[in-house]
């Protein structure tokens, strides 16, 4: 960091503050993780200097011979990881990947059927504030308000009534396993296309801890920075027959030059995800989530749907007289980072919410296991049980820092 410190000490100081925040606290945001030093090094490499518009073997600039090899490696590794026929690794984000699938498959104004944002969906699945909600006619399904899980029979009835051109499945705040085969059968029944957004659960899908949409749906999108533990970015997998249409939708349809330093970092991430150690990591992510959920349940906190099958859980704080915003702020003061989140039957605004979303990927990357999850669950309950007690929150922060100090983000020897 010496060059940055000399050139821009203000930015260097802010990066150092953020390093200390991550190191001394506990990141429990379900969409965040800790990349390896190899991914970090690749993302900050000399590859950022080059324009490489186009695709391998068909670039608009000279000097791309090594970039062609890198991009092909990323595509091949991603296909191997998921068993996919075709991949595009150029999307800058998961939202961009979703947009490319829509653009390649349906027309402006066509009908999309997707999950409500307030009950677990994502902005890019049809929210009125997103491009997806502005460009398409959107109808949305939710969860059953008794079980708080997807009712596939009700979903099938909606699809037959609405006859959408595209069904979107996948979520950003749904703690249970999604039945992609059921979605495929519903889409086939009504003559709809279907895309699975596995941004959150990609690592679990890749390692067999969650069923896969690859063989049952024509399109799958993902981010690479959540459970996949790679750089911030997106990717698309599809059947071979749709490959060229996806390519055209990404470039020149939506994006210009690809971020080749990030694509190289994606390739590193995919190689890491093919290892046994990564499979073990993903198993621990799920075990940790279930242990943390059980601990919070034992502390008297209601879990949406009663628990979790994946890497995240949703807490319903409404019976505690707390809002998600209050809880997020108090836990932040204790060195625990979570995010407020809407829950089924939400009555408050998305800026306040009745719930919290909590995930285990980042703390698991640091090496924490079940015993640490029990301690973290106790920390959370201690803060939320006496949310106005600044002295108690400060005590928890000291305990949080002591726990975090035992699990370095980047060991000195790495």
Q: Which residues does the annotation place in the binding site for (6S)-5,6,7,8-tetrahydrofolate?
A: 117, 121-123, 240, 349-351
Residue of 77, 116, 226, 229 with catalytic role? 226
Residue of 197, 272, 346, 372 with catalytic role? 197
Residue of 232, 239, 279, 369 with catalytic role? 232
Round to whole Å and give the CA distance between 414 and 4.
22
Residue of 51, 179, 333, 392 with catalytic role? 51
Tokens of residue 119, six digits: 């009950």
- Give the ranges where 208-341 is alpha helix by DSSP (H): 243-250, 260-273, 276-298, 324-333
Round to whole Å and give the CA distance between 376 and 335.
11
Binding residues: 117, 121-123, 240, 349-351
Residue of 23, 32, 50, 53 with catalytic role? 53
The answer to whether residue 232 is catalytic is yes
The DSSP code for 301 is P
Residue of 42, 223, 224, 342 with catalytic role? 223
Q: Is 86 helix (H, G, I), strand (E, B) or coil?
A: strand
The answer to whether residue 151 is catalytic is no
Q: Is the peptide bond before 37 cis (omega within 30 degrees of 0)?
A: no
Tokens of residue 196, six digits: 């699975």
The answer to whether residue 197 is catalytic is yes
Give residue for tokens 């698991």: 364
Cβ neighbours of residue 336 under 8 Å, at least 6 residues apart?
25, 26, 28, 376, 379, 380, 383, 396, 400
Q: What is the dihedral of CA 253, 259, 265, 271, to 10 degrees?
A: 30
Which residues are designated catalytic?
51, 53, 197, 223, 226, 232
């Amino acid at each position: 960091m010496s060059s940055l410190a000399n050139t821009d000490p203000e930015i260097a100081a802010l990066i150092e503050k953020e390093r200390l925040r991550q190191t001394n606290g506990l990141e429990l945001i379900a969409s965040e993780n800790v990349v390896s030093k190899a991914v970090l090094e690749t993302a900050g490499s000399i590859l950022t200097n080059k324009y490489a518009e186009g695709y391998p073997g068909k670039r608009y600039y000279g000097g791309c011979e090594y970039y062609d090899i890198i991009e092909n490696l990323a595509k091949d590794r991603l296909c191997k990881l998921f068993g996919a026929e075709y991949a595009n690794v150029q999307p800058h984000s998961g939202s961009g990947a979703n947009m490319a699938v829509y653009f390649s498959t349906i027309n402006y104004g066509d009908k999309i059927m997707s999950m409500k944002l307030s009950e677990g969906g994502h902005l890019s699945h049809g929210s009125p504030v997103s491009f997806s909600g502005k460009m398409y006619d959107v109808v949305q399904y939710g969860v059953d308000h008794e079980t708080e899980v997807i009712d596939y029979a009700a979903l099938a009835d909606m699809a037959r009534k609405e006859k959408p051109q595209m069904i979107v499945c996948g979520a950003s705040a749904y703690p249970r396993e999604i039945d992609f085969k059921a979605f495929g059968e519903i889409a086939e029944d009504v003559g709809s296309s279907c895309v699975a957004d596995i941004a959150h659960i990609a690592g679990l899908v890749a390692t067999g801890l969650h069923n896969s949409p690859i063989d049952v749906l024509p399109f799958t999108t993902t981010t690479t920075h959540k459970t996949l533990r790679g750089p911030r970015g997106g990717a698309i997998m599809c059947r071979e027959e749709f490959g060229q249409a996806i390519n055209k939708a990404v470039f020149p349809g939506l994006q210009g030059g690809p971020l080749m330093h990030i694509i190289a970092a994606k390739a590193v991430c995919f190689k890491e995800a093919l290892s046994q150690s990564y499979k073990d990591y993903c198993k621990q992510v799920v075990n940790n989530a279930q242990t943390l959920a059980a601990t919070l349940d034992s502390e008297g906190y209601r879990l949406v749907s009663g628990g979790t099958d994946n890497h995240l859980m949703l807490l319903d704080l409404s019976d505690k007289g707390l809002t998600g915003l209050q809880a997020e702020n108090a836990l932040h003061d204790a060195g625990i980072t979570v995010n407020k989140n809407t829950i089924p039957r939400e009555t408050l605004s998305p800026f306040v919410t009745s719930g919290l979303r909590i995930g285990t990927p980042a703390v698991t990357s640091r090496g924490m296991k079940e015993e640490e999850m029990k301690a973290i669950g106790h920390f959370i309950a201690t803060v939320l049980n006496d949310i106005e007690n600044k002295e108690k929150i400060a005590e928890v922060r000291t305990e949080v820092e002591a726990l975090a100090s035992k699990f370095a983000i980047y060991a000195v020897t790495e």
